[in-house]
Structure 1
């Protein structure tokens, strides 16, 4: 209980300054991670397929959607943070619309989806702007999103926008 929170109940904004570390192991968890990585940017070189570890990792600069309202209410700049998105239990990776030889190619994540298969297996699809996509066939749903740096000012000074 504090002066600005007399009820003492947990509030979303209370975690605004802490790094995120979230895991998705069920289909209903995926939209939460998808919302947090929407508009994250990375280079093709920031993707790492590690077949011996059976994981696919993305080092991204994600917009801090969880902090947007607080930033607007306080009149402070928007922020981004470096984060790692890891897909575990990967058996096969395929991509389209990405030049694998151009490690500096800038990519932007639009969506993250779970496509269930037989038993617990399935696929995780990462949809990228410009018709790009990465599909990871997995033994089971195992996603982790972890912030790895402190937030920094968004270089554009704007929130991403998707005009209809």
Structure 2
């Protein structure tokens, strides 16, 4: 299996990263904002949709995602300081406020969000090498 390495510099790139991290499992202790570095980073166990086989349970991979140019981070719908907290990432979106500045929003199952105020879009996603059989294949309600 090839490790994934992607960079996003615009909304179209960010949509591609969003597709690759859909259904990623993230411990809240594995995400954080480094204000002095203007960076928000997180570690995740992402479901590898590209390697998914229709009949199998699929594969999860350990991956890192970080955003540069971050001026503020806000959390809603979950406690980011909960040491045993876990969230499931559904999508990443971007809304322009004063181009190229805007808000990157990480949306989680159950309604939780992380909103990142950014000077520009720059996100990097990289697999870290570890991969294992998923315990279940993610499913989504069509409601």
TM-score w.r.t. structure 1 length? 0.82
Q: 1:77 to 1:97 in 2, by over 3 A?
A: closer
Q: How does 1:25-36 map to 2 (within 5 A)?
A: 25-36=9-20
Q: Once the 2 structures are TM-superposed, how far is the Cα of residue 77 of structure 1 from its aligned partner?
A: 4.9
Q: Give the unaligned 5+ runs of structure 2.
A: none
Which protein shows a greater Rg? Answer: 1
1:161 maps onto 2:139 in alignment: yes
Residue 111 of structure 1 is aligned with which of 66, 91, 114?
Answer: 91
| 1:63 pairs with 2:47 | yes
How many residues were matched structurally? 142
In structure 2, the partner of 1:133 is: 113
Q: Contact 1:113 / 1:125 at 8 angstroms: preserved in 2?
A: yes
Question: Given the alignment, which residue of 17, 25, 31 partners 1:41?
Answer: 25
What secondary structure, in the 3-state scheme, does the structure 1 residue paired with 2:37 have?
coil
**2: CA distance, partners of 1:135 / 1:77:** 31
**Structure with the greater relative contact order (CA < 8 A, sep ≥ 6): 1 or 2?**
2
RMSD: 1.3
SS of aligned partner of 1:66 = helix
Taking the aligned partners of 1:62 and 1:32, their CA distance within structure 2 comes to 14
Find runs of 4+ consecutive structure 1 residues off by over 4 angstroms: none
Unaligned runs of 5+ in 1: 1-16
